């Protein structure tokens, strides 16, 4: 595949995937997600690779799904295109995936980081699910994985009131594995990934699967409900207003319909 929105490299036994839409704060459009999934699947198949690191840049891991791409979509269009089903392929990757997160890690970006097996954050990382400001809710696992990671109280504030979590809070609440200075977070993630890549491959594979089983009981039902609600919200005036207001750089006016 010819990659235009990501940069794919190898570092020792680690496959490194970097988002490359810096002007849009690495907003996740359809193309970037397709490339990401293809690159992760390729690394998964390669014997030379033992683990995968996904990262953005210092300013943003990813500021969410691309609002401009979906602002005008109807619920039926969202449901029929079912773009989020692409994410199911990432869940099937057997090798360990570590998200190296700096700066904005919001909306779909935060959901993507949480869909990885571990998160290494820089001190500047900001985690959040600000979909509520757009008149919608998370659609790719945010309500499910965040709640399991940090518990109900914090998850409610993040999902319902757009609260951002600092790197230090994310660490304290159990969302990320470690926090490193901005100059070191990627090196730290690569080091951790290389350590895991040096371990017994089959034991790592089954260990990942077993931990995910503990974590993901009932996750499939939760993901399906969340996805339906997210698509449904594209039939509301508030979603149109919320996304248009973001693009117009003004405050949205909510109508409750
Ligand atoms: C499209 C985006 C974007 C996004 C930023 N940009 N986030 N474009 N989709 N999610 C664009 C801006 O429009 C702007 O483009 C450029 O990136 C720089 O952003 P600024 O807003 O100028 O930067 P700043 O003032 O530093 O503010 C940073 C920010 C803000 C706080 C992260 O950009 C922001 O609030 N972004 C949206 C975050 C969000 O709501 N995410 C959730 C999306 S919904 P121009 O052209 O003006 O320079 C979602 C649902 C997931 O993720 C569902 C499952 C997949």
Count of C-beta atoms within a 10 Å radius of residue 228:
13
Who wins on pLDDT, 172 or 229? Answer: 172
Who wins on pLDDT, 156 or 218? Answer: 156
Whether 45 lines ligand 1, by a CB cut-off of 6 Å, is: no
Q: Which residues are catalytic?
A: 65, 108, 111, 131
The answer to whether 121 and 180 are in contact (CB under 8 A) is yes
Q: What 3-state DSSP class applies to 56?
A: coil
pLDDT band at 151 (very low <50, low <70, confident <90, very high): very high
Mean pLDDT of 205-215: 86
pLDDT band at 221 (very low <50, low <70, confident <90, very high): confident
DSSP-assigned letter for residue 131: G
Q: Convert the pLDDT of each residue in 55-92 to its tens digit.
A: 999 999 999 999 999 999 999 999 999 999 999 999 99
Name which residue sits closest to atom 11 of ligand 1, judged by CA: 24
Q: Which helix (H) or strand (E) holds 239?
A: helix 237-248
Whether 107 lines ligand 1, by a CB cut-off of 6 Å, is: yes
Mean pLDDT of 183-193: 98
pLDDT at 136: 98
The pair of three-digit structure tokens given for residue 49, joined into one six-digit string = 């690779």
pLDDT at 223: 87
Query: Measured in angstroms, how far is the CA atom of residue 106 from the centroid of ligand 1?
Result: 9
CA distances from 68 to 93, 138, 156, 246 (A): 29, 16, 26, 9
Whether 24 lines ligand 1, by a CB cut-off of 6 Å, is: yes
The answer to whether 135 and 239 are in contact (CB under 8 A) is yes
Q: Convert the pLDDT of each residue in 119-133 to its tens digit.
A: 999 999 999 999 999
Query: Measured in angstroms, how far is the CA atom of residue 185 from the centroid of ligand 1?
Result: 23
Q: Relative to the CA of 230, which ligand 1 atom is closest? A: 53
The gap between the terminal CA atoms of the chain, to the nearest Å, is 42
Three-point CA angle 186, 88, 198, nearest 5°: 40
pLDDT at 39: 98
Count of C-beta atoms within a 10 Å radius of residue 124:
17
Query: Measured in angstroms, how far is the CA atom of residue 66 from the centroid of ligand 1?
Result: 7
Would you say residue 216 has pLDDT above 80? no
Would you say residue 194 has pLDDT above 90? yes
Q: Is the pTM of this model over 0.85?
A: yes
Strands laid side by side in the 14-19 sheet: 6-11, 14-19, 51-55, 96-101, 118-122, 178-180
């Amino acid at each position: 595949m010819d990659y235009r929105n990501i940069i794919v490299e190898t570092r020792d036994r680690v496959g490194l995937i970097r988002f490359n839409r810096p002007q849009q704060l690495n907003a996740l459009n359809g193309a970037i997600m397709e490339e990401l999934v293809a690159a992760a699947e390729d690394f998964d198949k390669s014997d030379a690779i033992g683990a995968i690191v996904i990262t953005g840049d210092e300013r943003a891991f990813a500021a969410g799904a691309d609002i401009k791409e979906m602002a005008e979509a109807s619920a039926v269009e969202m449901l029929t295109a079912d773009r989020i089903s692409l994410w199911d392929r990432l869940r099937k990757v057997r090798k360990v995936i570590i998200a190296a997160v700096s700066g904005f890690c919001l909306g779909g970006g935060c959901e993507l980081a949480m869909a990885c097996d571990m998160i290494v954050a820089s001190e500047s990382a900001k985690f959040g699910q600000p979909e509520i400001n757009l008149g919608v809710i998370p659609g790719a696992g945010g309500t499910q994985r965040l709640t399991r990671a940090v518990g109900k109280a914090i998850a409610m504030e993040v999902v319902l009131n757009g609260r951002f979590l600092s790197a230090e809070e994310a660490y304290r609440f159990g969302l990320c594995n470690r926090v490193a200075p901005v100059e070191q977070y990627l090196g730290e993630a690569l080091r951790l990934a290389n350590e895991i890549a040096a371990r017994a491959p089959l034991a790592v594979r089954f260990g990942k699967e077993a931990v995910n089983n503990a974590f993901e009981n009932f996750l499939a039902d939760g993901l399906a409900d969340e996805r339906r609600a997210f698509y449904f919200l594209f039939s509301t005036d508030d979603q149109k207003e919320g996304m248009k207001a973001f693009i117009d750089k003004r405050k949205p006016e909510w109508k409750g319909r």
